[in-house]
């Protein structure tokens, strides 16, 4: 709405031009003068300038002195040549009106000019806000995501701060057991709304992955955070993926994202990975359906954000695969084809070479000592019964306790592997009574974990007791882990006689792995109690 009109006009036009304020839609004040120097346009929305008093250079200088006031500038003329007004249009003139005119007739015309002015102002304001959001996105991208995400030759992505500002998110993180976790997300919303949630989501994913939580636990926690932080009409479509080199498998949880593709360039096969879950944040709790697939070094996982239309993508991949027998390097050729396919748009994509034999994302042990406290004696005990075992993974909890009390980040991976192996044996073979022989093939691995899930869901009795004790030494410390389960035990004497090299199967290798990391492994009684001693040396 126009609140004030300024009029630069001759005396005989002043009353006529000023009568505009009497129109109902222009119920406003007005200021009239015969010289630009006599007008104060700082609070005006509209400036009507008589063509006979028009001096562009003078007006232009006046605008500059007025700090570039955002004002509608309309030229009034009595010349019929205004029907062809090219000579009248200079920068800053919004319209030309031929005199005489009817105030009622000109009202809508001025209102249209005002609407255009408001749209232009909104566009400028939105652009300023977008640039401010991009600055925030760049900070989050560099400080939280880019510095902490896993860097590996197996991963290719075009993720940038621009994608983050537009509501997209991509993070990769290796776990203490050398699994690789991926998160591809697309927020329903852009700008600050998505940026405010992107930071806690990214930190949750990174911290839980680093502590060894399962991908299922991470999905549940992110769903809770998004549900808490965002209103009901905003949510996060996301795919979370965990690559497990040990079982040569990949767990995919697609929550509202478009289909992804697992491309086997050796078998010339494409496997579809569709969404089986709603986006995160809509429901307070979520029942998750996952998809587990076998992977090997001949496969390429392709991920695309939800706003990337996949029409023709599968056809393009199929056409590329059909020619792989003619290529000397089918993997890189396939990757380049996908990159070229996305060259004409700015949608987010990522590709992972499932190189589970070499594990290129495996982190080398840190050479830096990171002990938060000197070697001190301490002890803690935890006991988990059936209901707790169904819902709680104690390994990350214990790891967090050790890291908080003692530090030991430089040997974190070794301690995690020891705890994971001991707890898995106690739960799988002790409490649940599963046989390792099931894992005699890649298919057996899948069957083993399916049985584990079913037995865990129906578990009504059993327990695992964990005692952690730390003793300080002159040159380091000794971490003693004692684990007891309610199972029937096993013939550990026979198992201990088999060397790591002799066992080339898919199961039964955990005991020798423990022996390679621990200074001592002792089983007691019928085999349902074990003591593992881990020695660490303080670096000078």
CA separation for the pair 106, 189 (Å, rounded): 41
Give the pLDDT band (50/70/90) at residue 427.
very high
Residue pair 268/324 in contact by the 8 Å Cβ criterion: yes
Residue with tokens 């709405």: 1
Task: Of 293, 273, 252, give the one whose Cα is nearest residue 442.
Answer: 293
CA separation for the pair 358, 153 (Å, rounded): 11
Average pLDDT rounded to a whole number, residues 348-365: 85
Question: Can you give the pTM of this predicted structure?
Answer: 0.69
Q: Check residue 383 and give its pLDDT.
A: 93
Q: Check residue 38 and give its pLDDT.
A: 76
Work out the burial of residue 25: count CB atoms within 10 Å of its CB; fewer than 13 is exposed, 13-18 middle, 19 or more buried.
middle
Query: Is 60 exceeded by the pLDDT of residue 408?
Result: yes
Residues of the chain with pLDDT > 90, as a percent, come to 27
Answer yes or no: CATH 3.40.50.2300 is held by domain 4-122: yes
Q: Check residue 299 and give its pLDDT.
A: 92
- Mean residue pLDDT of the chain comes to 80
What is the DSSP secondary-structure string of 79-138?
-GGGGSGGGT--TT--EEEESS--HHHHHHHHHHHHHHHHHHHHHHHHHHHHHHHHHHHH
Token couple for 387: 């209901």
470, β-bridge pairs: 378, 479
Token couple for 479: 């971490």
What is the DSSP secondary-structure string of 32-86?
EESSGGG---TT-SEEEEEGGG--HHHHHHHHHHTTS---EEEEEE--GGGGSGG
Class of domain 148-353: alpha beta
User: Domain residues of the chain, as ranges?
Assistant: 4-122, 148-353, 378-537
* 65-106 per-position pLDDT tens digit: 665 556 777 877 776 554 455 555 555 677 777 777 666 666
The single-letter DSSP state of residue 365 is: P
> How much of the chain is helix, strand and coil, in % rounded to 5?
40, 25, 35
Task: Of 164, 232, 234, 243, give the one whose Cα is nearest residue 209.
Answer: 243
Q: Check residue 300 and give its pLDDT.
A: 93
* 476-498 per-position pLDDT tens digit: 889 999 999 998 888 777 665 55
Q: In terms of C-beta distances under 8 Å and separation of at least 24 residues, what long-range contacts does 515-520 make, across chains too?
A: 517/414, 517/417, 517/418, 518/418, 519/478
Q: Report how far apart, in Å, the C-alpha atoms of 495 and of each of 212, 317, 527 are.
A: 28, 47, 11
Q: Report how far apart, in Å, the C-alpha atoms of 138 and of each of 113, 125, 143, 200, 293 are.
A: 37, 20, 8, 16, 35
Answer yes or no: CATH 3.90.25.10 is held by domain 378-537: no
Give the pLDDT band (50/70/90) at residue 182.
very high
Q: Check residue 184 and give its pLDDT.
A: 94
What lies within 8 Å, CB to CB, of 132 at 6+ separation is none
Average pLDDT rounded to a whole number, residues 344-350: 80
* 3-state secondary structure at position 524: strand
Q: Tell me the pairing of strands 72-77 and 46-50.
A: parallel
363 or 231: which leads in pLDDT: 231
CA separation for the pair 95, 102 (Å, rounded): 16
Please state the separation of Cα 140 from the chain's center in Å.
11
Token couple for 521: 């492994």
Average pLDDT rounded to a whole number, residues 498-524: 71
């Amino acid at each position: 709405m126009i609140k004030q009109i300024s009029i630069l006009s001759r005396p005989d036009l002043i009353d006529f031009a000023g009568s505009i304020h009497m129109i109902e839609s222009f119920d406003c004040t007005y200021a009239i003068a015969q010289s630009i120097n006599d007008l104060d346009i700082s609070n005006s929305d509209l400036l009507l300038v008589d063509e006979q008093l028009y001096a562009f250079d003078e007006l232009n200088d006046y605008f500059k002195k007025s700090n570039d006031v955002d004002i509608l500038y309309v030229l009034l003329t009595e010349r019929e040549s205004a029907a062809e007004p090219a000579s009248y249009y200079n920068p800053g003139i919004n319209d030309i009106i031929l005199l005489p005119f009817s105030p009622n007739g000109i009202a809508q015309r001025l209102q249209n000019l005002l609407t255009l002015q408001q749209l232009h102002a909104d566009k400028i304001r939105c652009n300023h806000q977008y640039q401010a959001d991009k600055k925030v996105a760049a900070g989050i991208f560099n400080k939280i995501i880019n510095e902490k995400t896993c860097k590996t030759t197996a991963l290719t992505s075009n993720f940038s701060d621009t994608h983050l500002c537009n509501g997209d998110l991509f993070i990769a993180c290796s776990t203490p057991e050398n699994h690789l976790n991926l998160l591809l997300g697309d927020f329903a919303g852009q700008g600050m709304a998505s940026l405010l949630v992107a930071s806690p989501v990214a930190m949750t994913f990174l911290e839980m992955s680093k502590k060894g939580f399962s991908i299922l636990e991470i999905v549940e926690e992110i769903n809770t955070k998004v549900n808490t932080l965002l209103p009901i009409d905003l949510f996060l479509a996301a795919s979370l993926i965990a690559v497990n080199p040990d079982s040569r498998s990949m767990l995919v949880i697609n929550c509202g994202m478009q289909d992804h593709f697992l491309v086997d360039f050796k078998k010339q096969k494409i496997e579809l990975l569709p969404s089986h879950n709603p986006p995160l944040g809509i429901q307070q709790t979520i029942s998750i359906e996952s998809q587990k697939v076998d992977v090997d070094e001949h496969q390429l996982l392709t991920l695309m954000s939800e706003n990337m239309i996949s029409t023709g993508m599968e056809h393009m991949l199929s056409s590329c695969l059909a020619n792989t027998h003619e290529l000397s390097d089918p993997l890189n050729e396939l990757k380049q084809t996908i990159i070229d396919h996305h060259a004409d748009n700015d949608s987010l994509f990522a590709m992972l070479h499932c190189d589970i034999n070499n594990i290129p994302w495996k982190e080398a042990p840190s050479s830096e000592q990171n002990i938060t406290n000197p070697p001190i004696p301490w002890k803690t005990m935890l006991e988990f019964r059936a209901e707790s075992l169904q819902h709680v993974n104690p390994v990350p909890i214990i790891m967090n306790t050790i890291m908080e009390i003692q530090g030991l980040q430089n040997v974190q991976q070794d301690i995690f592997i020891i705890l994971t192996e001991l707890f898995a044996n106690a739960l799988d073979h002790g409490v649940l009574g599963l046989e390792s022989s099931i894992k005699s093939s890649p298919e057996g691995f899948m069957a083993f974990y399916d049985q584990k899930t079913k037995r865990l869901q129906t578990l009504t009795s059993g327990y695992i007791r964990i005692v952690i004790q730390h003793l300080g030494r002159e040159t380091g410390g000794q971490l003693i882990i004692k684990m007891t389960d309610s199972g029937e035990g096993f013939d550990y004497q026979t198992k201990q006689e088999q060397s790591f090299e002799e066992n080339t199967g898919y199961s039964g290798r955990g005991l020798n792995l423990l022996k390679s990391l621990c200074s001592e492994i002792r089983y007691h009684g019928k085999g349902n109690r074990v003591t593992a001693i881990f020695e660490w040396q303080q670096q000078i």
